[in-house]
Amino acid sequence: MTQTSGDVSDLSGRQDDGHRTPAGQPATVAGPEAARRPRWQVWAWWAGTVAVVALAAVGAVSHRHELAGTSHLLTHVSAPKMAVALVFEAASFVALAALQRWLLRGAPARPGPGTMTALAFGANAMAGALPGGSALSVAWVIRRLTRRGIGATLAAAMLVVAGALSALALAFLLTLGALVADPDAPGAGLRTVVLAAAATLAALIAAAVCLTRSSGLRRAMRRAGRYGTTRWRTGKRLGDLLADVLHWAEAIQPGVRGWARPCVLALLNWVCDAAALTASLWALGIAVPWRAILITYGLTQISISLRLTPGSLGVAEASLSTLLVVQGLPADHAIAAALLYRVVSFWAAQPVGWASWLYLTFREPRVVDTDAE
């Protein structure tokens, strides 16, 4: 599953949503114009696609014997078991939508679960099929929510917080996968690398928490922040966005225990998608490498998040099949599993996503902004 909720790096445009900052100025966030990409990035995106296609053609010729075994496995896939994989994949979208809807709990006109799920499918389709799709999907979600009476600031803050929770959930799942992986199995080096990275990240977070308790450091950070926001336009925009995110996070005020629910939803999003991968192996009649499945899945999701090609085509399949081979699966089994998982997680979601996009874009009601009247 392609995750789009946290990609807010392109929130550089400004538009008024009626919310006022303490200084009395309108708090603003990105509009659709902020999703434009430099032309060289678009060309690099397509060049990467052509390179992947060329490498795939070369690989198909050099590994034609493995592909024959892969074709045999795919033609004998169990339809009922594949349906289980599709159910798990749909559940991952529902969990993501539930997370985003929970974060909108302070909104005066919060959309229903069906609308939020359609938004998740539509944003996923845009992110996977278009150059700069992540930025376009962010702008599209914000526009759809603002037309339904949600302030643009709150919509952007929701995407930021949902993305942060999703990233932390994936890191937790990857660390858990490294802990349960067999240290004596093939690919044990991956386990060591992941655990070292997790330990480093935990140490950095702990150090940051300790340092921020210093009043002198906090004053220095505030001075640096004021300097950056006055000297650089982008810094000011990022500072304003961060202030808005903190404002709305404080407005929710669920308490420490209250945040358990969104954290579980963020984790459930990834767990259901990983279950879809497991069900894909099951549908092919391939023995599931249970102790290695989480670390394999987590590392694959990291490669997908790079978005080097449309929908990470070629990159996702190559990384997943390679990791499965490293974990001891035969090459033809690994390739078949990677292809079937991508059918379930990417190709099956595309028509649903674009149908959702069409419906929400052209059939939704337009809400009048009462703050502007």
Identify whether the C-beta of residue 136 lies closer than 8 Å to the C-beta of residue 353: no
CA angle 200, 201, 202 (to 5 degrees): 90
Three-state DSSP class for residue 356: helix
Three-state DSSP class for residue 273: helix
Q: Distance between CA atoms of 209 and 215, rounded to whole angstroms?
A: 12
Nearest to 163 by CA among 305, 21, 14: 305
Q: Distance between CA atoms of 185 and 208, rounded to whole angstroms?
A: 35
How confident is the model over 103-130, as a mean pLDDT?
A: 89
Q: Is the pLDDT of residue 26 over 50?
A: no
Nearest to 3 by CA among 177, 256, 173: 173
Q: Is the pLDDT of residue 30 over 60?
A: no
- For residue 230 the two structure tokens come to 């006055």
For the chain, what is the mean pLDDT? 78
φ and ψ at residue 323, rounded to 5 degrees: -65, -35
Q: Is the pLDDT of residue 53 over 70?
A: no
Identify whether the C-beta of residue 137 lies closer than 8 Å to the C-beta of residue 303: no
Tell me the CA distances in angstroms from 87 to 83, 206, 269, 338, one per residue in order: 6, 38, 13, 18
Burial class (CB in 10 A: 0-12, 13-18, 19+), 109: exposed
Query: Model confidence over 162-181: pLDDT tens digits?
Result: 998 999 999 999 999 999 98
Q: Per-residue DSSP letters for 133-164? A: HHHHHHHHHHHHHHTTT--HHHHHHHHHHHHH
Give 336's contacts (C-beta < 8 A, 6+ positions apart): 69, 70, 73, 74, 284, 286
Query: Model confidence over 177-219: pLDDT tens digits?
Result: 999 988 887 777 888 888 898 888 888 877 766 765 666 665 6
> Residue 134: its pLDDT value, please?
83
Greatest Cα pair distance in the chain = 69
CA atoms lying within 13 Å on the CB side of residue 128: 27
> Residue 218: its pLDDT value, please?
59
